[in-house]
Amino acid sequence: MRSSEIRQKFLDFFKTHGHTIIASSPLVPANDPTLLFTNAGMVQFKDVFLGQDQRSYTRAASSQRCVRAGGKHNDLENVGYTARHHTFFEMLGNFSFGDYFKRNAIQFAWEFLTDTLKIPQEKLWITVYAEDDEAADIWLNEIGINPARFVRIDTMDNFWQMGDTGPCGPCSEIFYDHGPDVAGGPPGSAEAEGDRYIEIWNLVFMQFNRDSGGELHPLPKPSVDTGMGLERISAVMQQVHSNYDIDLFQDLIKAAARVTNTQNLEDNSLKVIADHIRACAFLITDGVIPGSEGRGYVLRRIIRRAIRHGYRLGQKKPFFYRLVTDLCSVMGEAYPELPAAKERVAGVLQQEEERFAETLEHGMQVLDNAISKKISVLDGETAFRLYDTFGFPLDLTADIARERGISIDNEGFERAMARQREQARAANKFTMNEGLTYSGNQTVFHGYNALQHEGKIL
């Protein structure tokens, strides 16, 4: 079953059960300046859950584009290392705003997985929050889950909260067992970190309101928020373990191999590039442009990581922007805003690639030189020089170092950064006082607007 079909089946299922289908909102949240990117389906409904916004419906379902590459949820460092994490993914979700609660939410999820998708029951594991007897009772006695595959979790992993105060409540998560060929233990066990048991669906029961004293008060109208990763459920349905082996990713990996002239389709860099083109293209579609701070800097970091993986595959010329067309073929139908912005997206990417190409090769030489000295820790001065002179964000250098099995002296980097900040401050003061601009030794002064990220021109 293709992932586009799974997405459609999900929406159809919930439509049949009285849900209004709502389009994905953009990756830049409209109503929450504190949130870097939309990282879950519930984000566009936050004010509805808080009772500050009214809708004409009490049940909704969506397929929401999400990015987890900064802020509270950051999976950037997992990409290329786990089978299940992306910077960009699609979250299928159903929501109840004071309408149904635990019983229906659990029944819907179970029916969709085992009846609509026909997933064998014995492959599914269920977790609930340790204190949530109500959910445990529904799973064990109404659905009839085998207690051998049922786990009570007493950590905050199974308790969700919007913030330090406000709506919160227990979660129930559904895991899929990919079988004994994959390392890892069941949820809640000491070996749970592995990738054998993969979380596919999280059901959040918004049950309480936490006050400023930390006390929990029952909400008059409890609500439901759920999220299931489309790529993870597609892996299950396509009987592959890794998300990167699903149809949607395979098309992108082939395209990445084509534009980087790579023969080996298993090369990890292709997975990273395939992941990153989705995040970057959709972020630009939604109005983010590469820059030196905030959202723009996260985007720049992801683009530069992708470019460096291309470089690792031997690409020294811009290649990344060429994937936009392929991405439109794979995802344009589900997200028409992408093809509509295609030319602009490709242009922004190409420009950023050309910009980084000027310093990438030289920076790589500096880094290779340092690493060739058989070090186990890269010194902070070099990491800072790469950042300062060659535009290597620290996480990019760390990504390369990790590949080569070495770490980075982060404190040394911070010290070098602090020193540079001090100098920049002094220089700024000088030019402001004197009303001078300067282009010192080989340095082009870009004006104050460019001095954004910690006083640094990137």
For binding to Mg ion (CB under 5 A), which residues are involved? 199, 202
Q: Residue 206, CB half-sphere, CA atoms under 13 Å: how many?
A: 27
Question: 72 is written with which tokens?
Answer: 């509270």
At position 320, the amino acid (one-letter code) is F
Using the minimum distance from each CB to ligand ATP, give the nearer residue, 59 or 84: 84
Q: Which does 309 bind (CB under 5 to 8 A by kind): Mg ion, ligand ATP, none?
A: none
Helix (H, G, I), strand (E, B) or coil at 117: coil
Residue 119 or 198 having the CB closest to Mg ion:
198
Helix %, strand %, coil % of the chain (to 5)? 45, 20, 35
Minimum CB separation of residue 72 from Mg ion in Å reads 10
CB distance 136 to 171 below 8 Å: no
Write down the least CB distance from residue 196 to ligand ATP, Å: 13
At 88, phi and psi to the nearest 5?
-115, 135
272/256 Cα distance (integer angstroms): 10
Which among ligand ATP, Mg ion, none contacts residue 86 (Cβ within 5 to 8 A by kind)?
A: ligand ATP
Q: Which is nearer to ligand ATP, 51 or 184 (CB)?
A: 184
Partner in contact with 353, chosen from ligand ATP, Mg ion, none, beta carbon below 5 to 8 Å by kind: none
d(CA 453, CA 419): 14
Among residues 244, 297, 296, the alpha carbon closest in space to that of 269 is found at 244
Nearer of residues 182 and 424 to ligand ATP, judged by Cβ: 182
Find the angle CA(221)-CA(226)-CA(227) to the nearest 5 degrees: 160
Three-state DSSP at 184 gives coil
Q: What angle do CA 40, 295, 355 make, to 5 degrees?
A: 130
**84 or 312, CB closer to ligand ATP?**
84
84 binds, among Mg ion, ligand ATP, none (CB under 5 to 8 A by kind): ligand ATP
Query: Whole-number minimum distance, CB 18 to ligand ATP, in Å?
Result: 23
Nearer residue to ligand ATP within complex by CB, 226 or 315? 226
Q: Which of 76/345 has CB closer to ligand ATP?
A: 76
**In the complex, least distance from residue 288 CB atom to ligand ATP, rounded to whole angstroms:** 18
> From CA 136, how far away is CA 249, in angstroms rounded?
36
* CB nearer ligand ATP, residue 89 or residue 297: 89
**85 interface partner picked from ligand ATP, Mg ion, none, CB below 5 to 8 A per type:** ligand ATP
Q: Are 226 and 19 in contact (CB under 8 A)?
A: no
Query: How many angstroms separate the CA atoms of 19 and 42, rounded?
Result: 15
Tell me the residue type at 95. Answer: F
Task: Tell me the closest approach of the beta carbon of residue 111 to ligand ATP, in angstroms.
Answer: 18
Closest chain position to ligand ATP (CB): 229
> At closest approach, how far in Å is the CB of 85 from Mg ion?
7
**C-beta of 199: minimal distance to Mg ion in Å?**
5
> Judged by CB, which is closer to ligand ATP: 233, or 256?
233
Q: Which does 232 bind (CB under 5 to 8 A by kind): ligand ATP, Mg ion, none?
A: ligand ATP
**How far apart are CB 303 and ligand ATP at their closest, in Å?**
18
> Contact 121/114 with Cβ under 8 angstroms?
yes
Q: CA-CA distances (angstroms) from residue 199 to 9, 120, 177, 229, 343?
A: 20, 16, 9, 9, 37
Q: Contact 66/90 with Cβ under 8 angstroms?
A: yes
The interface partner of residue 227, options being Mg ion, ligand ATP, none and the CB cut-off 5 to 8 Å by kind, is ligand ATP
| 129 interacts with, out of Mg ion, ligand ATP, none, CB within 5 to 8 A per kind | none
Query: What, of ligand ATP, Mg ion, none, does residue 67 touch, CB below 5 to 8 Å by kind?
Result: none
Q: What's the rounded Cα separation, in Å, for the pair 323 and 310?
A: 12
Binding site for ligand ATP (CB under 6 A): 68, 75, 84-86, 89, 91, 199-202, 227-229, 231-232
Least distance (Å) from ligand ATP to the CB of residue 15?
A: 21
- Judge whether 61 and 15 are in contact, CB under 8 Å: yes
